[in-house]
Amino acid sequence: MEPVTVGLLGIVAVFLLLFLGMPIALACMFVGMAGIAYLASPEAAMPVVASTIYGTFAFYPYTVIPLFILMGGFCTSSGMTSQLFATFDKWLGRLPGGLGLATISACAGFAAVSGSSVASAAAMGTIAIPEMRRFHYDPRLAAGCVAAGGTLAFLIPPSIGFIVYGMLTEQSIGKLLVSGILPGILLALAYVVTVLVMVKLNPALAPASPDPVGLIDKFKAARGVAGALSLFLVVIGGIYLGVFTPTEAAGVGATIMFLWVIAARRVTFKELAACLMDSLRISAMVLFLVAGASVFSYFLALSTIPAQVAAWAAGLAISRYVVLAAVTGIYLFLGCLLDSISMMVLTMPVIFPVMTTLDFHPIWFGVISVLMMEAGLITPPMGLNVFTVAGVMPDVPLETVFKGSLPFLFAIATVCLILTIFPQIALVMPMMMGR
């Protein structure tokens, strides 16, 4: 068979194995190994798999993943989430839909110290949803604010999404993390506008909250964001100024939070062990995904599919933005079937060469990709954030939670359009790092 035919059969085989329930890392690794054995030789396949797995787990810069996850776990245990929500509740809670605005703002603040969207949705859901239900907010709005707000952790650094993208495409993780700052703020503002529009069109979604808060109390409450802001400035500011590498910054952040929770005596030994186990579990999952994707990428490279698809796309007599629109449409579809990291692992070996051939900036495309992965977190039927929120609201049908999240997809689409028209929003900060 021709190499391209073998490659296409390999792609079909991966999806078939996923449908049968095989973990995506193993599916990619198994098909990649079989494909390399067929296109090269069985003697070449096993060393590729062995060296790839070892190289992935032994590569020092990849320790950024467990360290950032550990930092986020310590932040949750320290009570930082509740402090952020209490602060923004004081400042925004009495506006129309104010508790929803406070939830999104607190999610943005927590995203600055945690790279996990699901963890952000879970932590904020246990705090914000009971408060919104106490003031008789519509369950759709309450669920939507938490599920969508949690996605900000996938875009605002430190972001696991950017780290995985950088690992798969060999781009600077430091520049990718910094590139998410302005788009993350823009998306948070778009979510805020979405809530305001929803409440304006249907005031019954969010009854007005009583008891206005005085200016002095607001300024006192502002101390609740000091910890998260300080940590963000140390970690991301250190990366931006070149003081730390991303790995060193993650280590510094995790150490600071560890000392913080120990000094504050806000974490038990059991909670500390749980943070370490979560860090180990998520890191192993991500690194196995990357190892599987690397083996599969070697196979696809032998099949020449990425090069031929890139050449075909470059030769099309259509605008490159039509190709970009098609790619975003593919991501929206895949978001209904796969989780975000799996989607990135499966698509980047083919799509990234196409985008770079069409002269899209790889850092900018990383931001667009992560935005599309965020959309997958709240699209039915596989939206992980939606299932997380549904676990906090067991008496609310899952369909209602999905309906509450869907308006925020328009906010993500709007931000993608703005970034396409004004790509410098995503590029200005990482480009200044290179000077």
Q: Which residue type does 381 have? A: P
Strands (E), 186-311: none
Residue count of the chain: 435
How far from chain centre, in Å, is Cα 313? 28
Q: Which residues of the chain have pLDDT under 50?
A: 435
Q: What is the pLDDT of residue 213?
A: 64
Which residues have C-beta within 8 Å of that of residue 56, sequence separation ≥ 6?
62, 287, 290, 291, 294
Domains of the chain: which residue ranges? 3-15+22-433
Whether residue 246 contacts residue 174, with contact meaning beta carbons closer than 8 Å, is answered with: yes
Which residues have C-beta within 8 Å of that of residue 322, sequence separation ≥ 6?
none
Q: Which residue, among 133, 132, 127, has the nearest Cα to 106 in the 3D structure?
A: 127
Q: What is the pLDDT of residue 269?
A: 80
Q: What is the pLDDT of residue 219?
A: 73
Which residues have C-beta within 8 Å of that of residue 204, sequence separation ≥ 6?
138
Measured between alpha carbons, how far is 431 from 9 in angstroms, rounded to an integer? 40
Tokens (6 digits) for 340:
């975000």
Give tens-digit pLDDT for 211-269.
666 667 667 667 768 878 888 889 988 988 888 888 899 899 889 888 888 887 767 78
Q: What is the pLDDT of residue 215?
A: 67
Q: What is the pTM of this model?
A: 0.86
Q: What is the pLDDT of residue 217?
A: 67
How far from chain centre, in Å, is Cα 281? 17
